[in-house]
Amino acid sequence: MDLRTQAWNDQEDAHVAATVRRHGWLIRYVGGDTCSRPGCDCPQSDDPPFAYTIGLFGLAHPELLIFGVPPETAAGVLNDLGERVRSGDALMPGELIAFEDWPHRVVPEPVPNPGDIVFGSNRYYHRPDEHSVPLLQLTYDDTQGRFPWNEGYAAPEMQPRPGTFMA
pLDDT value of position 163 = 96
Residues 47-80 pLDDT 10s: 899 999 999 999 999 999 999 999 999 999 999 9
pLDDT value of position 32 = 72
CA distance 6 to 132: 23
SS (H, E, C) the chain: CCHHHHHHHHHHHHHHHHHHHHHCCEEEEECCCCCCCCCCCCCCCCCCCEEEEECHHHHCCCEEEEECCCHHHHHHHHHHHHHHHHCCCCCCCCCCECCCCCCCCEEEEECCCHHHCCHHHHHHCCCCHHHCCCEEEEEECCCCCCCCCCCCCCCHHHCCCCCCCCC
1 pLDDT band (50/70/90 cuts)?
Answer: confident
Q: What is the mean pLDDT of residues 118-125?
A: 98
Does the pTM surpass 0.75? The reply is: yes
Q: Are 77 and 102 spatial neighbours (Cβ–Cβ below 8 Å)?
A: yes
Residue 125: CB atoms within 10 Å:
16
